[in-house]
């Protein structure tokens, strides 16, 4: 499918004069983010599809050089494999339905899996057979480093990981270790600590690893956050891995989502009503802006007025209400905009590439179904 291409977001407003919200995909920004990971990370880069599965995003990342994809469901496997037949997918969800395992193996030829329990390993053996697939055992990591802790739900203890790695090898599969330090990880030390623990597990298990997958969690630089540059995260991972006695053919892997695509999309919304210091716009927490509510994030915003009409140079904070009739549909942080913002104006909301359209619902009949491509 082809998407309309515009030279700028302002041109979208001028040409379409939209009364509906629009998701704007910026392939050049996605390419820059991909280059950062492909050049900076010391290993294989897998894009975490769950973060933003839109075909325009996936195609943009493929053109930018991303060849490997972290897929966490059969639908994601199918989406990537049918859109990008030469892509390599990894079924990296620790809990999978029997039918999903069978289809991923028989139809799409998946050869890399994640488990964190012997029951999941049994399911793979029963439905995949004795192929020499790579089985990554997911190691539980310490809490407190990230905005969203994933080890509360997934991950085996160090002792369990040791036994699972031995079991993986005993059954004829290729052992590997994966972990995830949590989404929007604030400190590089979380990775060095997890890598050190993975090394301890590897030595105790006495197996040769094919992969050491450090997962995702790489942070985005939102307003008000103090986070080290990605280069520091990459160096920390490289230095920590160098201290391990990894086999020569053991490859480092990572699964960036947020940090890879957050800058790659912006959202256009229109002001449908102003009530004093409150603005009612046509997207909200049940649509592409749910992550702003979940993460209490403040994105960059700017006012757009069609025809280049002048706007005030004085700014004020405005409370933002979404379009549904639910009183919960309000953003947690105000938007600071020119103080003469009024009905019919548009707002471009930045940094909505991550967990935006991926989480959107059709609640109350409001949703964003118009996507355009912006040639920066």
Q: Where are the domains of the chain?
A: 5-24+263-374, 28-261
Neighbours of 281 (CB within 10 A): 24
CA distances from 29 to 35, 60, 233, 259, 350 (A): 10, 10, 20, 12, 12
Tell me which residues are annotated as active site. Answer: 325
Q: What is the pLDDT along the chain (376 residues), one digit of tens a residue?
A: 789 999 999 999 999 999 999 999 999 999 999 999 999 999 999 999 999 999 999 999 999 999 999 999 999 999 999 999 999 999 999 999 999 999 999 999 999 999 999 999 999 999 998 888 999 999 999 877 777 777 778 999 999 999 999 999 999 999 999 999 988 998 999 999 999 999 999 999 999 999 999 999 999 998 878 889 999 999 999 999 999 999 999 999 999 999 999 999 999 999 999 999 999 999 999 999 999 998 888 999 999 999 989 999 999 999 999 999 999 999 999 999 999 999 999 999 999 999 999 999 999 999 999 999 999 6
Backbone φ and ψ for 21, nearest 5 degrees, come out as -75, 150
CATH number for 5-24+263-374 (one of 3.30.1360.20, 2.40.37.10, 1.10.3720.10, 2.60.40.10): it is: 2.40.37.10
Residue found by looking up tokens 């739900």 in the block:
153
Confirm if 250 and 208 have CB atoms less than 8 A apart.
yes
CATH architecture of 28-261: Alpha-Beta Barrel (3.20)
């Amino acid at each position: 499918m082809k998407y309309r291409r515009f030279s700028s977001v302002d041109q979208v407003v001028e040409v379409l004069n939209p009364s509906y919200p629009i998701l704007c995909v910026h392939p050049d920004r996605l390419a820059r983010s991909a280059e950062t990971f492909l050049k900076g990370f010391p290993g294989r880069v897998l894009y975490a599809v769950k973060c933003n599965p839109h075909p325009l995003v996936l195609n943009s990342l493929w053109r930018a050089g991303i060849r490997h994809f972290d897929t966490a469901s059969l639908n994601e496997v199918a989406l990537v494999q049918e859109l990008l037949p030469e892509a390599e997918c990894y079924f990296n969800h620790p809990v999978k339905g029997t039918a999903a395992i069978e289809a991923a193996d028989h139809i799409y030829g998946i050869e890399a899996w994640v488990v964190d329990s012997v029951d999941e390993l049994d399911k793979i053996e029963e439905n995949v057979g004795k192929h020499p697939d790579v089985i990554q055992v997911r190691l539980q990591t310490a809490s407190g480093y990230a905005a969203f802790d994933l080890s509360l739900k997934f991950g085996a203890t160090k002792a369990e990981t040791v036994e699972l790695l031995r079991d993986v090898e005993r059954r004829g599969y290729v052992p590997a270790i994966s972990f995830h330090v949590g989404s929007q990880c604030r400190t590089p030390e979380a990775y060095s600590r997890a890598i050190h623990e993975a090394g301890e597990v590897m030595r105790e298990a006495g197996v040769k690893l094919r992969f050491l997958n450090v997962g995702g969690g790489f942070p985005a630089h939102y307003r008000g956050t103090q986070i080290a540059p990605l280069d520091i995260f990459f160096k920390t991972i490289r230095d920590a891995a160098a201290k391990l006695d990894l086999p020569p053919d053991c490859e480092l892997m990572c699964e960036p989502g947020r940090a890879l695509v957050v800058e790659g999309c912006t959202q256009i919304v229109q002001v449908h009503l102003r009530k004093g210091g409150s603005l009612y716009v046509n997207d909200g927490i049940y649509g592409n802006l749910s992550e702003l509510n979940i993460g209490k994030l403040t994105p960059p915003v700017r006012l757009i007025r069609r025809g280049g009409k002048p706007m005030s140079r004085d700014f004020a904070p405005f409370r933002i209400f979404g379009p549904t009739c639910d009183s919960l549909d309000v953003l947690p942080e105000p938007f600071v905009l020119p103080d003469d913002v009024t009905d019919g104006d548009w707002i471009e909301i930045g940094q909505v590439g991550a967990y935006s359209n991926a989480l959107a619902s059709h609640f109350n009949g409001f949703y964003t179904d118009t996507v355009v491509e912006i040639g920066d």
